[in-house]
Every structure is written in structure tokens, then in C-alpha cells.
Chain A
């Protein structure tokens, strides 16, 4: 009798052991999975939200051929210009020196600014066990104003013609569709129109992206300048746009009041507010062609 009891108990125990090991195979794999789910694809996808920089940087060996154009009309009743009265284009080359550091140089036709920048990705947003809540990218640009200055009262040595912009870009992909960015910005301007104006500006940028399709997203961007120029009225640059990604070509279409395309210029000297009257409304078009120089599985 006792033997039977022992036998029965051991069989039961055996059954239990067997049961515990025959758990679902996929559940076992679930537990085995290393914490590599953290990577979040593309907060903004493009290195710019609309006119301003986003936290995105390009990977090592990636060259972007970047053209950015703005078209606008003069407030005359009738004009006979083809398509638009005025246009401005910035051509630039932007290259990923490493997976974190990018370098760019460019020139703009309308305002005669030549600019160069360095952009360094400090933090990448991650989720999972090691969570990083934000993307943080440091941005530093320098621009050279090449316009001829006729006024002898204005100092226009090489160093006077330089302007500097420093930004800390902080962004977060809040959901799979929505990303948001704030950008504390410091601008030091060279070449002032009036001696009354201060040369140092603090500004805060806001940008957002909403994905409306696998390849299409809506974007908006705004910069608030805290110590605006006094010699003429300036307004915060604003843009509303659509970003479209097709393979190696990235296109951005936007409506904006910012004529300039270099940071120090559009943040401090946007002279028109955003509305649909000429010449305030600019149609903006950015086209980026991406070339990969290091084609290796990595």
C-alpha cells in the first residue's frame, strides 16, 4: 500500500516536472530575447524638420546633396515674372564623418551667405531595459556674409562678417507617428544694420512631425526669439510642410515666412509674419539626394 502511494506521488511529481518543461517554445524564446528592442527608427528621418535642423544625423560615409529653394512674390499688383517674382536657393553638401558626427557646407544665392556646420549626436532615444528618453544633438554653425557693404560706418572685416549659431536639439519620438523637438538656440550676429541692436540672441525652437503614411509626414516648425532686433520688426519663422521619402531622394515641401535658409539669419531677421499675402508667404522646397560611399553590411 505504502509502495503504491510512493509510486503514485512520484508519478505525479514526474508529471509536474514534465508539464513544467513543456512550456510553449515561443515563450522560451521570448525570455531568451536580448534587450535589443531599444532602437527606435527615425525620429525625423531627415536632417531638417522644415527649415531648421532636426536631431537626425547621417551615418558614416553618407553624402547628402542638399538643395533648398524658396519662392515668393512681390506685393505689386501685376508682375510678369515666370512662376515667382523672387527665388533663393541654398546648395549644400553634407557628409557623415562618423555615425554621430556630420559636417556640412553650403551657399545661398539671395542673401549671399556661405555657411558651414558641425552636428554631433550626443544621445539616441532608446527604450527597453536601458532607456534613454530623448535624442540630443549638438549643432554649431558659422556663416559668412559675402554681400558688399556700401556704408563706410559699418565695420566689415572678415571677422565682422561672421555669425555663429549654437543649438542643443532635443527630440523625442512620442509615438510611432509623432515626434517632437525643442531647440534652445544662441545666435551671435555679425554685421548689424544699426549700432543699437545687440548682437547676441537667445531663441527657442519647436518642431514636430506627424507621420500620415509610410513615406509621408506632416511637419511644422517655429522659432521664438527672446531679444529681437530693435531697428526693424522681426517675427518668428514658422513653417508648415510635408516631407516625402522615396528611396535615395528625400523631398520637403513647405509654406513659410522665412526667406533665409541659414540658422542665424532666419532666427533673427525674418521680417514678415506668417500669412498668405505677398511677399510674406514663401513656398519652400528642399530636395536631398543621398549617396552611400560605404556599402558594407554593418
Chain B
């Protein structure tokens, strides 16, 4: 009986060590685009953090707003100071679940990620269609979605209304590695 229990205990421990329960992306990419007839605005952030708990498919994303880079230097200043107010709201975060996520499945699967996104002091529920690829223990999540500027309490002066699109398209791509705690 004792031996059996000991063996069970070892197996449990061993299995814990074998299969990582969490995977993390430290250099996730998020970019956004605003296309208008007046001006195209593009920004990229290559330092987005994300973590997935493979056991229950829960996912979290965190990014610093001031690590977005723009084509024009002044745009970055405007973005941080006048629009996103990154000294008051330095981060945007997302916390949610990958619905029906099968962590063991090799290859591609497309799932809906549902969760709560918060940015600029506003929280909003999002559902994002995401492509998940798994190969050799690595997970890659990528996708595109659109969101409206007006949801996030961002003040655009009427003079510049033509320069900034009402709907912003967002691309993301995260490559996950096993997370050692």
C-alpha cells in the first residue's frame, strides 16, 4: 500500500515536471493600424507579455503602452501624452479563456478567446478569433481583430477627427515557451 502510494506520488510529481502547466511569451507582437484618407498611422509593440495556463486554457496579456513605436517620433509623444495618457494608465491588460482549448493537439486549431480587456481606464469584454499552432511543445497564437476608438474614452479633437480612423485594426502574434516557475 505504502509503496503504491509512494509510486503514485512520484508519478504525479514526475508528470508535473514533465509537462509544463504554463507557457509564456515575453516578446509578443501587437501592432495597430489606422487608415484614413488623410493619414495612415501604424504602431508596433514587440515587448508584449502573455501567459497561458495549459490546464484550464486561461490566458493573460500585459503590455506597456509606452513601448509602442511609431513611424513619426511626434506621433509617439501624442499617443502617450494626449490620447492613451500612458503616465496615468501605463498598461493594457487582457485576462480571459481560450474556449474549448485542447493543449495536447498538435498542429493548427482556431478558437475563440473570450475575456476582459482593460486599457485607458476602460474595461471591455472581447471575443477574438485566434489561430493556435502547436509544434514541438511551442505554441503560437496569432490573429487580427477590429475595435472602435470610441469604446476607450479616448478624446480626439474635432480638428483631427479626419486623421484618426474610427475603427482600428489590431494584429497580434505570440510565441510561447515553457514557463519555469
Measured CB to CB, the closest approach of chain B to A16, in angstroms, equals 13
Q: Does A10 contact B (CB under 8 A)?
A: yes
**A10-B9, A176-B88 known; A297 and B73 CB under 8 Å?**
no
Binds B, one of A134-142, A152-160, A243-251: A243-251
Binds A, one of B49-57, B98-106, B132-140, B143-151: B49-57
In the docked arrangement, what's the CA distance between A61 and B88, Å?
29
Interface residues of B in 154-170 (CB under 8 A from A): 155, 157, 159-160, 163
Please determine whether B77 and A32 come into contact, CB atoms closer than 8 angstroms.
no
Please determine whether B160 and A39 come into contact, CB atoms closer than 8 angstroms.
no
Please determine whether B81 and A41 come into contact, CB atoms closer than 8 angstroms.
yes
Closest to B48 in A: A29
Chain B contacts for A25, CB-based, 8 A:
22, 51, 53, 58-60, 95
**A176-B88, A246-B157 known; A41 and B67 CB under 8 Å?**
no
Measured CB to CB, the closest approach of chain B to A13, in angstroms, equals 9
Please determine whether A30 and B62 come into contact, CB atoms closer than 8 angstroms.
yes
**Chain B interfacial residues counted at CB < 8 A:** 52
Chain B contacts for A246, CB-based, 8 A:
157, 159-160
Q: Does B18 contact A (CB under 8 A)?
A: no
Chain B contacts for A26, CB-based, 8 A:
60, 62, 93, 95
Chain B contacts for A33, CB-based, 8 A:
49, 62, 64
In the docked arrangement, what's the CA distance between A37 and B65, Å?
9
**A6-B2, A41-B80, A42-B77 known; A214 and B64 CB under 8 Å?**
no
Q: Does B114 contact A (CB under 8 A)?
A: no
Please determine whether B71 and A292 come into contact, CB atoms closer than 8 angstroms.
yes
A22, A32, A214, A295: the one within 8 Å of B72 (CB): A295
Closest to B21 in A: A21
In the docked arrangement, what's the CA distance between A37 and B51, Å?
20
In the docked arrangement, what's the CA distance between A170 and B2, Å?
73
Please determine whether A29 and B51 come into contact, CB atoms closer than 8 angstroms.
yes
Q: Does A148 contact B (CB under 8 A)?
A: no
Q: Does A78 contact B (CB under 8 A)?
A: no
Closest to A249 in B: B159
Measured CB to CB, the closest approach of chain A to B93, in angstroms, equals 6
In the docked arrangement, what's the CA distance between A215 and B5, Å?
68
Please determine whether B51 and A176 come into contact, CB atoms closer than 8 angstroms.
no
Q: Does B12 contact A (CB under 8 A)?
A: yes
Q: Does B109 contact A (CB under 8 A)?
A: no
Chain A contacts for B157, CB-based, 8 A:
214-215, 246
**A3-B2, A25-B53, A39-B66 known; A214 and B82 CB under 8 Å?**
yes
Q: Does A14 contact B (CB under 8 A)?
A: yes
Please determine whether B60 and A29 come into contact, CB atoms closer than 8 angstroms.
yes
**Chain A interfacial residues counted at CB < 8 A:** 40
Please determine whether B85 and A3 come into contact, CB atoms closer than 8 angstroms.
no
A6, A58, A214, A247: the one within 8 Å of B73 (CB): A58
Q: Does A130 contact B (CB under 8 A)?
A: no
Interface residues of A in 192-229 (CB under 8 A from B): 214-215
Please determine whether B87 and A29 come into contact, CB atoms closer than 8 angstroms.
no
Q: Does A162 contact B (CB under 8 A)?
A: no
B5, B22, B71, B81: the one within 8 Å of A297 (CB): B71
Please determine whether A32 and B26 come into contact, CB atoms closer than 8 angstroms.
yes
Closest to A250 in B: B74
Closest to A22 in B: B53
Closest to B93 in A: A26
In the docked arrangement, what's the CA distance between A42 and B66, Å?
12
A14, A32, A215, A247: the one within 8 Å of B49 (CB): A32
In the docked arrangement, what's the CA distance between A33 and B74, Å?
26
Instruction: Annotate A27-63 by CB proximity to B: 1 below 8 A, 0 otherwise.
Output: 0111011101101111001000000000000111010
**Other CB < 8 Å A-B pairs besides A7-B5, A25-B22, A30-B62, 13 of them?**
A3-B1, A6-B2, A6-B5, A14-B9, A28-B60, A40-B87, A41-B76, A41-B81, A245-B82, A246-B157, A247-B160, A297-B42, A297-B43
A sample of 13 inter-chain contacts (CB < 8 A) reads A3-B1, A21-B21, A24-B60, A26-B62, A29-B60, A29-B62, A29-B93, A36-B64, A41-B76, A41-B80, A58-B73, A292-B74, A297-B69
Interface residue ranges, B against A (CB under 8 Å): 1-2, 5, 9, 12, 21-22, 24, 26, 42-44, 47, 49-51, 53, 58-62, 64, 66-67, 69-74, 76-78, 80-83, 85-88, 90, 93, 95, 155, 157, 159-160, 163, 179, 181
